[in-house]
Amino acid sequence: MAILILLNQVDPTLLESKLKQFDDCPEVRIYPDCGNKDDIECVIVWKHDEGVLNDFPNLKLIASYGAGVENILSDPSLPEGVPITRFVDDTLSDQMAEFVLAAILNHRLHLTYYREQQAASHWRPMDFLTGKNVTILGLGELGSTTAKLLDVNGYSVSGWSRSEKNIDNVKSYYGDDQLNASVAGADIVVCLLPLTPTTKHVLNADLFAAMKKGAFLINVGRGDHLKEDDLMNALSSEHLSGALLDVFATEPLPTDHPFWRHPKIHVTPHISSPTDKGRVARQILDNYNRIKSGADPLNQVDPKRSY
Ligand code: GLV
């Protein structure tokens, strides 16, 4: 019996070595060297090619390498009845919260601006931006941890989600009707939603129009949350003051993409919360063991909810 690692855009050997450090790890194979496909009981996936998960007749677990599972669920030929799990972990949430706080501080304190000024030996001090109202779209594990870190750092935090949430000091907006209201008072809007058919392109001209002039956008969800042309228009009309984008519809971001050279867009390479290889390895082995002993895996994805 074997586990197959099938990762695109991620080095599989790091995960392989972490898996093999555990005594209870079965044989590990790395795609496309699957060996006898009948042996494969668990596949660890990231950005797999459509259809390939159907090749393993004894598959018992499809485990996402990351928190997001839209790439798995968008495959129309997934094998029926095989549970799908995603990576849920405190380190993932804490890193994301830290990244968002850093992005907000960088924006409010103009740190990148000074780095650019340094290149021309310019001494141009500016006051901090005072606006500390933040709205987080998506209050799941990542969003709620981020909301709490911002709260203890003196930010006034609101959140928007599918259903009402009860988090200390975080104003909860929920449902489609309250989406625009949730961002109306925000100086900074952070997208941490799962990507589903209903959240695709949620960051669009309507939402930007509901945001106040000068607001800043941080997208650490998925590239397909954003309507790229609508952002370009909102920036050129100066309705939004800028954006930090960590995720893109096409990754890596193509070298000729206008975002690279846009003066108001800060591009980071999908790095807001990297998966801890040791922790994901342990979590997947635990789930594999649970399935082998007849128990349900933890952190199972509900395909009807899309996450
Ligand atoms: C990263 O984007 C993840 O889904 O974990």
Which of 89, 275, 277, 284 is the best mutation target for the ligand 1 pocket, counting ligand atoms within 8 Å of the beta carbon and taking the most?
Answer: 275
Residue-wise pLDDT for 243-289, tens only, equals 999 999 999 999 999 999 999 999 999 999 999 999 999 999 999 99
Whether the pLDDT of residue 306 is over 90: the answer is no
275 CB near ligand 1 (under 6 Å): yes
Q: What is the rounded CA–CA span in Å between residue 249 and residue 228? A: 9
66 CB near ligand 1 (under 6 Å): yes
pLDDT attached to residue 263 = 96
For residue 68, report the distance from its CA to the centre of ligand 1, in Å.
5
221 CB near ligand 1 (under 6 Å): no
Residue reference for tokens 């449902």: 175
pLDDT averaged over every residue in the chain: 97
Note whether 43 and 63 are within 8 A (CB).
yes
Both tokens of 201, joined, read: 């392109």
Residue-wise pLDDT for 95-124, tens only, equals 999 999 999 999 999 999 999 999 999 999
Catalytic residues: 222, 270
**Domains of the chain by start residue, with CATH:** 2-87+275-292 (3.40.50.720), 90-267 (3.40.50.720)
Question: What phi and psi, each to the nearest 5 degrees, are found at residue 111?
Answer: -65, -40
Note whether 287 and 261 are within 8 A (CB).
no
pLDDT attached to residue 305 = 86
